[in-house]
Amino acid sequence: MSVQKDLFYAQSHEWVKYIGGGKALVGVSDHAQEEMGDVAFINLCEVGDVVDVGGGIGDIESIKAVSDIYSPVGGTVTKINDELLDDPSALNSDPYGSWLIELENVSENSKLMDAAAYEAFIAE
């Protein structure tokens, strides 16, 4: 189980990567993909949608269950990862490379954890 250093994490196991210019990428952690098991489908919100902190941005369907995905930060959706929708298995093999959506006008969320705090959180 890996936790990537330069990301910030939500308790619901999504990560956010700030990429400058008020933009950020959102994905789910290695721990989350491990818990979900083999991913079969991903449904995501649409470009132009405005999401709040903790707002739903889609769901991930695995062999075990369908899990809702919540945005760790607020913002406006500028891109969704079409390649990932075509090959959802990439989320299992490379969870930190497999971003789900890109947001702009990102609002901060002070409750997010850094890598060390998240590592401690999932060890609980």
Partner 1 sequence: MSELIFDKSKAGRRCAVIPCRDVAAVCVPERYRREVKAELPEVSEIDLVRHYTNLSRKSYGVDNGFYPLGSCTMKYNPKINEDAAELKGFTDIHPLQPESAVQGCLEVMHTLSEYLCEITGMEAMTLQPAAGAHGEFTALSMIKAYLLDRGETSRTKLIVPDSAHGTNPASANMCGFTVVNIPSTADGIVDIDALKNAVGGDTAALMLTNPNTVGKFEKNIEIIEKTVHDAGGLLYYDGANLNAVMGVARPGDMGFDAVHLNLHKTFATPHGGGGPGSGPVGCKAFLAKYLPNPVVKSENGIFSFERPEKSIGMSKSFFGNFLVCVKALAYIMTLGAEGIREAAENAVLNANYLQESLRGTYDIPFDGPCMHEFVVSLERLKRDTGITASDIAKGLIDRGMHPPTMYFPLVVHEALMLEPTETESRETLDSAAAALKDAIAAAYDNPQSLRDAPVSTPVGRPDETAAVRNPVLKA
Binding test (CB under 8 A) with partner 1, winner from 20, 63, 82, 110: 63
Q: Cα(47)–Cα(64) distance, rounded to whole angstroms?
A: 28
88 touching partner 1, by CB under 8 A: yes
In the complex with partner 1, which residue's Cβ is closer, 46 or 123? 123
114 touching partner 1, by CB under 8 A: no
SS3 content of the chain, % helix, strand, coil (to 5): 20, 40, 40
- Only one of the segments 22-30, 48-56, 61-69, 102-110 lies at the binding site for partner 1 (rule: CB under 8 A); that segment is 61-69
Binding test (CB under 8 A) with partner 1, winner from 6, 19, 22, 41: 41
Closest CA to 70 of 58, 83, 84, 61: 58
Token duo for residue 55 = 């707002």
